[in-house]
A and B are shown apart, each in its own frame.
Chain A
Amino acid sequence: MTKVVIDKVRKVYPNGTEALSPSSLDIAHGEFIVLVGPSGCGKSTLLRMIAGLEEITDGTISIGDRVVNDLDPAERDIAMVFQNYALYPHMSVYQNMAYGLKNRGRSKPDIETAVSKAAKLLHIEEFLHRRPSQLSGGQRQRVAMGRAIVRDPSLFLFDEPLSNLDAKLRNQMRIEIRKLQRELDVTSIYVTHDQIEAMTMADKIAVLNTGRIEQIGTPSEIYHKPASIFVASFMGAPPMNILDGKYNGNGGVEVADLGQLTIDHALKTTGKVQVGIRPENVEIRTEASQNTVAIKIDFLEELGAGRLLHTMIGSTPFIAHLDNEHPIDSDNIFAHLPPQALHLFDAETGQRV
């Protein structure tokens, strides 16, 4: 059973920049956790500290029952899949997969069994004697996976492994990695900047921003109850609409160019807030009522499965997601913002209120 405990881990580079402020994260056995955030948020630093490729400034990391702070990467019983695969270009696929086992002093027949088993699982048996340069991107990706699997590690680390693949292959590999991980029942930590990857693959997501973990939760929690304005706007495509407002202390928020919005719970703060609503929660109506605003269609983006209506509220861009059945009378349109769909954030701290 491999659980991973990250306890108040901090990273400061020699030049004084803090790449990660003290962060804690518990990962249960068999869990697939995704670290997501924009570039420079500290997600890769955290992953590399878990791998042992980066020194830990403060705090402890344990894998299983061992504190691994001072262990060499090779001693941590982990396997890692790199963004550019990091396959040894001068070795065949077989040698690439066998190299780690060989260094561990495993016997030749042992290695052979392990490699062929992993190769079979990943459908790369026919490439075993080719060089990485003779493989396509997707095949290299599989070899990189294979190299991780043969080692039978207690923890998988993935560093943006799909970002070099084209969109179609990426979707396919997403599913395949998840299936494989369930089958092998190995705890996994996966770093990506792609929020769709995070949503679709994770058991649990940790959203990072500027060296801090903003929120940890299931994809559904992250999506439906974002803890901060950053999480709210980072997760979801198209992104959440955000409007500036002012709480009147009395169940209503004053929004410029829109008027008063009723909300479904009382807020503790008074003063400036930000109101968010996801495009798919915006309802389009033909007549004014409570929580509606008259809008003008700037552009209608056809998605096939639906449409995106682009407009402006004041000077803020605003998007509504419509299903195909929804009729649009372009002269007389109102956007309805249902109170229960509104997310409210403190304008100062960015935290959910």
Chain B
Amino acid sequence: MSTTDMSLDNASSTTAAKVSPARKRPFKWSVVSDHLILIIGSLFMLMPVVAAFLTSSHDNATVHSGGLQMSIGDELAANYYNAMLVPGGFTKSVDGMRMLGNSFILGIGFAVGKIIISMLAAYAIVYFRFRFATLAFWLIFTTLLLPLEVRILPSYEIVQSLGLLNTYTGLIVPLIASATGTFFFRQFFKSIPDELIEAARIDGAGPVKFFFDILIPLSKTMIAAIFIIMFVFGWNQYLWPTMMTTDERFFTLVRGISQIMQVFIGSQIPDYGEAMALAIIAMLPPVLIVVFFQRWFVKGLVESDK
């Protein structure tokens, strides 16, 4: 399709140029400058990561003496092998694989937990008439006001007193305490025509049937979109895991980054290659999801914030 388009475009622009060259020229320049801007922008976003990736394929001495590398080296497999399978850290009890697994547990656990809990809550708020509905609404939506960061210390103390430090529960559940998901679902449910619940009621569907037969199937794309956003959000958590997990067996990749830094500071020749390999692995799953499910992701992101 693009090839025929291009040839047609070229043909028409050349004929037009013959007719009125003075007019056609500035138009063409603006297209060129548009592409130039976008290419520079794309390179700006892309180059740091490319440099990181290429550097991850060299041995540390090369990087140490020659700076970041812009060519592919021959240590790629070795660096990724070391990063993923050789235990590191202070206690030598954690390797990249373990951290990768923990990241998936956090990302998926957070996304799934958030979707289930917030869907149920939003269902109650939008589709039921009950006393305290307004109170429940405000209790939940006030949480949108304050990010975890401003109540991080007391949150830590509470999780500690509940004995949840260095557990997956303690890692995941407090992060769910913000109502973003509930807010998304509430907005979405409100956009579903009233007549649908009315038709369902006349058709004899009660609250449970309506939820499973009508609401969940209708929410499929929304659920997918929120899953992507929440997975990325959970995967990328840093501050909370940093405080919560001191036991290296519970480290996520993103949490492990600060441990890499420690190694950096201590050694004569830092493990550039391994560090970059871990960084690449830490970004790969969320980046792939966002790129492959771009349409859902963008839709979810843009619509949910309305």
Contact = CB atoms under 8 A, between A and B. Distances in A.
A73 B205 CA distance: 10
A52 B213 CA distance: 21
Interface in B199-213: 199-205, 209, 213
B72 interface: no
B198 A80 contact: yes
A73 B204 CA distance: 7
Nearest to A79: B202
A85 B193 CA distance: 10
B198 A86 contact: yes
B195 A82 contact: yes
A103 B199 contact: no
A103 B209 CA distance: 9
A177 interface: no
Complex A-B, nearest 5 residue pairs according to Cβ-Cβ distance, in ascending order: A86-B195, A100-B203, A74-B204, A103-B204, A86-B199
Contacts of A317: none
Nearest to A90: B217
B214 A100 contact: no
A137 to B, nearest CB: 15
Interface in A81-129: 82-90, 99-100, 103-104
Interface of B: 193, 195-196, 198-205, 209, 213-214, 217-218, 220
A74 B201 CA distance: 6
Given A89-B218, A90-B218, A72 B201 contact: yes
Interface of A: 48, 51-53, 72-74, 78-80, 82-90, 99-100, 103-104, 147
A104 B196 CA distance: 18
Q: In the complex, which of the residues B200, B203, B214, B217 has the most CB atoms of chain A within 10 Å of its own CB atom?
A: B203
A104 B204 contact: yes
Nearest to B199: A86
23 contacts: A48-B198, A52-B202, A73-B198, A73-B202, A74-B201, A74-B204, A80-B202, A82-B195, A82-B198, A84-B193, A84-B195, A86-B196, A86-B198, A86-B199, A88-B196, A88-B199, A90-B217, A90-B220, A99-B203, A99-B205, A103-B203, A103-B205, A147-B199
Nearest to A81: B199
Nearest to B218: A90
A73 B195 contact: no
Given A80-B202, A86-B193, 15 more contacts: A51-B202, A53-B198, A53-B201, A53-B202, A73-B201, A74-B201, A80-B198, A84-B193, A86-B196, A90-B218, A99-B200, A99-B213, A103-B203, A103-B204, A103-B205
Contact of A78 (B202, B205, B218): B202
A104 B205 CA distance: 9
B195 A74 contact: no
B60 to A, nearest CB: 55
A88 B212 CA distance: 13
A100 B210 CA distance: 12
A88 B200 CA distance: 9
Contacts of A78: 202
